Structure 1
Amino acid sequence: MFTGIIAAVGHVTAIKHNEKDMTISVDSGSLDLSDVKLGDSIANNGVCLTVTSLSANGFDADVSYETIKRSGFSQIKTGFALNLEKAMQMNDRFGGHIVSGHVDGVGEITAITPLGSAVEYWIKAPDELAKYIAEKGSISIDGISLTTNEIDGAFFKLTIIPHTIAQTNMVNYAVGTQVNLEIDVIARYLERLMLGEKASQSTKNKNKSTMDLLARSGFLG
């Protein structure tokens, strides 16, 4: 479990491609690894990965086929910047929101506009994720806990302060950049809960029925 508060920015130093998955080596930058051991979890651009090897300057982690398919890791290359966060401890400050490290899809930055000292970013989410994104709700972008300020269909706007940009990989964002998205975990479980007894049935036709179910239950106007 993570909070979406980025501790450091690392970089991919090596990639070993296997038949369908891969192993990455990460220079962890300023991330404190003194309390990290093999098997621990570290979020890399919002993707929860298990540490399989440790060195003085970083760590190795395996990336499964499922993770590659669902995230921006499909386009990863040497030098790729990674937002890093160690798994939270029970006595940590909870400064962001609940982030599981399980990416739901990939979004694309469509516009970047300066706004005073801040910057506005418009991001296009996959159509199937749009229903989970709410104005003033929480969303994880490359592992960063952020708040949506405006919604327009599958597009949503973020207003980011200079500190967040400087301390994350957002400093490298440009129009067309693809980012990992994780929706608020509450929205994911609410949809499942609303299915009630139907949750045990086949999911082949779930996309057809979910919005009707929410409407009948009074959650949609």
Structure 2
Amino acid sequence: MFTGIIQGLGTLFEKRPAGGGMIFGIEADFDLTDPEEGESIAVNGACLTARNIKGNRFYVDVSPESIRRTGLGTLQSGSRVNLERALRLSDRLGGHLVSGHVDAQGQVRERRNAGDFTLFTFSIDAALTKYVVEKGSITINGVSLTVNSCERDQFSVSIIPHTLSVTTLGLLRQGDRVNLEVDIIGKYVEKLLSVDGASGTTESRINPGFLAENGFL
């Protein structure tokens, strides 16, 4: 589990195919204090397992599913990535609960300045917009951000100068693709409301009758 608060940047120094997936060698720009072989680390928002950790360098195995679901497969030697080590129970939850399981990719539709801030509009699969709410949280390339507005197939965020300077978001241009993870809490709420525990069916019980009975109509 992660928080979406980026600890530093990494540089891809090696990329090679392996067993249908890929192996990445990554060098972090910060010290990996008390590293644990096999620990989880988020790379552009994707939870991967770090191994062969030496100094601030480590390797990760990228599965075919991760390549299909994320933009990791398009990275090249020298590419910069956002890094976050796994959350400890004693850590501050500065962002929001992030699983590191990327839902889909989005694309930068617009980037414009608004004073000291930068406004981005991203495309998103219309099937995922039900989990994206105004002033809710979303993860973009591993960065926890607050949603400004959300429409049928796009949403916007406002990014402060600090975030642009310490993450790869500052490098984004119109047309670039990003990894998206929607708020996991919304998924669980939907599942709990749609499953009938007795029958195991997944037909939603929320209808006009239910809303009226519970005082919503």
TM-score normalized with structure 1 length? 0.89
Question: Which residue number in structure 1 is paired with residue 185 of structure 2?
Answer: 186
Q: Within 2, Cα distance between the matches of 1:74 and 1:36?
A: 26
Which stretch shows the higher mean deviation, 191-200 or 174-183? Answer: 191-200
Would the aligned equivalents of 2:50 and 2:60 in 1 still touch at CA under 8 Å?
Answer: yes
The secondary structure found in structure 2 opposite 1:148 is: strand
Larger radius of gyration: 2
The secondary structure found in structure 2 opposite 1:100 is: coil
1:104-143 to 2 correspondences below 5 Å: 104-143=103-142
The secondary structure found in structure 1 opposite 2:108 is: strand
1:38-92 per-residue CA deviation (whole Å, 9 max, x = no partner) reads 1101110111110121122310000111111111113122122111011011111
Say if 2:32 is the partner of 1:23.
no
The secondary structure found in structure 2 opposite 1:197 is: coil
Which stretch shows the higher mean deviation, 56-65 or 189-198? Answer: 189-198
Q: Within 2, Cα distance between the matches of 1:112 and 1:179?
A: 14
Q: Within 2, Cα distance between the matches of 1:215 and 1:77?
A: 49
1:129-208 to 2 correspondences below 5 Å: 129-197=128-196, 200-201=200-201
User: 5+ unaligned residues in a row in structure 1: which ranges?
Assistant: none
Percent identity reads: 37
Would the aligned equivalents of 1:29 and 1:58 in 2 still touch at CA under 8 Å?
Answer: no
- Aligned-residue RMSD, C-alpha: 2.0
Question: Which residue number in structure 2 is paired with residue 2 of structure 1?
Answer: 2
TM-fit CA distance, 1:214: 5.0
User: 5+ unaligned residues in a row in structure 2: which ranges?
Assistant: none
Question: Which residue number in structure 1 is paired with residue 94 of structure 2?
Answer: 95
TM-fit CA distance, 1:145: 0.5
The secondary structure found in structure 2 opposite 1:108 is: strand
Q: Within 2, Cα distance between the matches of 1:72 and 1:138?
A: 21
Q: Within 2, Cα distance between the matches of 1:35 and 1:186?
A: 31
**Number of corresponding residues:** 211
The secondary structure found in structure 2 opposite 1:94 is: coil
